[in-house]
Structure 1
Amino acid sequence: MPTKLTDFERQWIPKINQVLETEIAADSDQATLTQAMSYSVNAGGKRLRPLLTLAVITSLGDQIDHTLLKTSCALELMHSYSLIHDDLPAMDNDDLRRGKATNHVKFGAGMATLAGDALQSLAFQWLVDNDLDSQTQAALALAMSKAAGPHGMASGQADDIEFVGHQLPLEGLRKLDRNKTGALIVYAVKAGLIMGRVIPEKQQSLLTFAEKFGEAYQIYDDILDVVGTEAQIGKPVHQDAGKNTFPNLLGLDGSYEMLAQTVQDAEAALQQAQTELGIDTGLLDDFCGYFKNKDEK
């Protein structure tokens, strides 16, 4: 029987894709740059982050119009920028992403860098070039700035580079992942709360869910590098030797145990949110089904 999330994905992924496929070109006047930007944004992917934002808005009982949809899609632009730069020769030097040649392989390192830069800027444009009230626009822009910047994703990427070959303790690894991967996932939920006009004092339980979901997402990604195949995940596997990952620190069994506990913590936070906000969190709970335990692999 389809879960709530399956039905939700069927409804909204095509609409997310339509925005991303049709509205980037309207804001770019250089043909090759536009092609490079669109190439990575529309290379596939689960659209997890904008889906999370839309799921929060839906769980709060609000209707999603085109403005809320496009504003939610801004996060996918930011995420795509980070992947383009992460794949560059100066970073991970990866040749494959989502089963396709990476941006710099297709367009060259210079154009790929510019495509990432342009997507980052365009993400902020989409947050404010709309008919939302100025207070909501400012709150979204501030939240995304913090999530992507030197106290968020950029900080995590810097730790990832600096500590290659140096095993961080568990708390150091959690900090790295909280920033590198978790910050944009937390923003996804935060954006839904902002657009849903939930006051800050009522946001914490759903933000805790987001933090735990983001941590679980990275643990699972680390596990997939060990047990997955290139065909399954669309990029090379067994690439994390010498890097700070949960399997490298805790072993595979320990990573599965950490994943299970983290998912339980995320689910507990949703139960708290359901009580505190008086909402049905079943749709958000279905997101936790993304992770398979070791018996399901």
Structure 2
Amino acid sequence: MKEARVIELTNEAIASYYKEEIVSSDLTKAILYSVNAGGKRLRPLLFLLLLEGFGISLTEDHYPIAASLEMIHTGSLIHDDLPAMDDDDYRRGQLTNHKQFDEATAILAGDALFLDAFGLLATSSLPADKIVQLVKLLSDAAGSRGMVGGQMLDIKGEHQALEEADLVAIHSNKTGKLLKYPFLAAGIVSDLPKQDIERLGKAGQLIGLAFQVRDDILDVTADFSELGKTPKKDIVAEKTTYPSLFGLEQSISILNQSLDDALRIFEEFENSHQFDAQRIRTVIERLRLDA
């Protein structure tokens, strides 16, 4: 299936969830404001393309899984932009949720997306044991054992000179686990053995590292038109980043090496599982700075 169609069906899965049982139209408006603000849909796209790579034909049962992941991600962006967090006025080129509406509405919109994601995930008719695994996995990736825990480490790390191990702990949780999820989830849905799911998880971990290093680099090298948000925020917050710790040149090297290592894992899958890596390779290559 074409990539644009895959993204369209993921968006439709989210939109359909918010067409029914609306309690507060104001809340739904705020939720959809951020959901519809754009974004590459990288996480759901990785999940769905991985399934196709393993020869699985996408059905309506796969899109709630992909969409639930995007809902968690969007909720995290709403909260991340709040004054008590990163305090940004723009996201994806438009006013952040709390600037378009107000702080209380933005908090509730983020809360709703975090919780609604599991409601949508549960609508998939895949075998119940798989849904339970995916729910547990998504909770671990998003909550105190993953993204939210990493966000706390990130806040506590501001205005401090951190070591490499501290930086790895922040980013492997704040960013990495939610990017690792589509790889592990695809392995579960594809009925891969445990060791192969772990190899997919390693690829996801490498992609998560590359994504964060790239984000750190762009924060100091890109402008608003490229980022869609305020640049150089890490410098203002005195955050330890890959460029501040390793320098720009080595950070670029870390980014490229992480992507190369992830691509090698998929080359192995091509040989061992007749995995069609072409489309997933294209998505991964877009994370290079010169893409």
Q: 2:248 maps to which residue?
A: 252
1:36 is displaced (CA, Å) by: 0.8
Among candidates 16, 24, 27, match of residue 18 of structure 2: 24
Deviation at 1:27, TM superposition (A): 4.7
The correspondence of residues 22-61 of structure 1 with structure 2, limited to 5 A, is 22-61=16-55
Q: 1:275 aligns with which of 271, 276, 279?
A: 271
Structure 2 alignment gaps of length 5 or more? none
Query: How many residue pairs get matched?
Result: 289
Q: Structure 2 CA distance, aligned partners of 1:112 and 1:186?
A: 26
The offset of 1:280, in angstroms, is 2.1
* Cα deviation code 1:4-32 (max 9, x no counterpart): xxx84223122222223333232532100
Once residues 77 and 59 of structure 1 are traced to their aligned partners in structure 2, the CA distance between those partners, rounded to angstroms, is 24
Partner of 1:291: 287
Partner Cα distance (1:147, 1:276) in 2: 28
Task: Please tell me whether the aligned partners of residues 65 and 121 of structure 2 are also in contact (alpha carbons under 8 angstroms).
Answer: yes
Task: Find the partner of 2:79 among 59, 79, 85.
Answer: 85
Q: Which residue of 2 aligns with 1:229?
A: 223
CA shift, 1:199, in A, is: 2.7
Q: Distance in 1 between matches of 2:154 and 2:21?
A: 33
Aligned counterparts of 2:207 and 2:18: Cα–Cα separation in 1: 29
2:191 maps to which of 197, 200, 203: 197
Q: Distance in 1 between matches of 2:25 and 2:59?
A: 30
Larger mean CA deviation between 126-135 and 56-65 belongs to 126-135
Deviations 1:24-58 (A, max 9, x none): 23253210010111111111000001001101110
Is contact 1:45–1:98 with CA below 8 Å preserved after alignment?
A: yes
CA shift digits 1:200-234 (9 cap, x unpaired): 23212221111101100010011111111101120
2:259 maps to what in 1? 263
Q: Which amino acid aligns with 1:197?
A: D
Q: Note if contact 1:186-1:211 (Cα within 8 Å) is conserved in structure 2.
A: yes
Contact 2:256–2:288 (8 Å) recurs in 1: no
- Partner of 1:253: helix, strand, or coil? helix
Q: Distance in 2 between matches of 1:198 and 1:107?
A: 45
- Residues 39-89 of structure 1 show CA distances to partners (whole Å, capped at 9, x for unaligned) of 111110000010011011101101111121122111000001111110111
Structure 1: gaps of 5 or more residues: 1-6
Partner of 1:279: helix, strand, or coil? coil
Please report the TM-score for the alignment, with normalisation by the length of structure 2. Answer: 0.95
Check whether the contact 1:202–1:276 (CA below 8 A) recurs between aligned residues: no
Deviation beyond 3 Å, 4+ runs, structure 1: none
Q: How many angstroms apart in 2 are the aligned matches of 1:202 and 1:247?
A: 33
Aligned counterpart in structure 2 of residue 212 of structure 1, from 193, 206, 211: 206
Q: Which residue does the alignment assign to 2:9? A: 15
Cα contact 2:255–2:288 (8 A) shared by 1: no
TM-score, normalised to structure 1's length? 0.93
1:136-215 equivalences in 2 (<5 Å): 136-215=130-209
| 1:203 alignment partner, SS class | helix
Give the aligned CA root-mean-square deviation in angstroms. Answer: 1.5
Inter-CA distance 152–141: structure 2 relative to 1 (3 Å threshold): same
Identity %: 35
For the residue of structure 1 that corresponds to 2:184, the secondary structure is helix
Q: Secondary structure at the match of 2:266?
A: helix
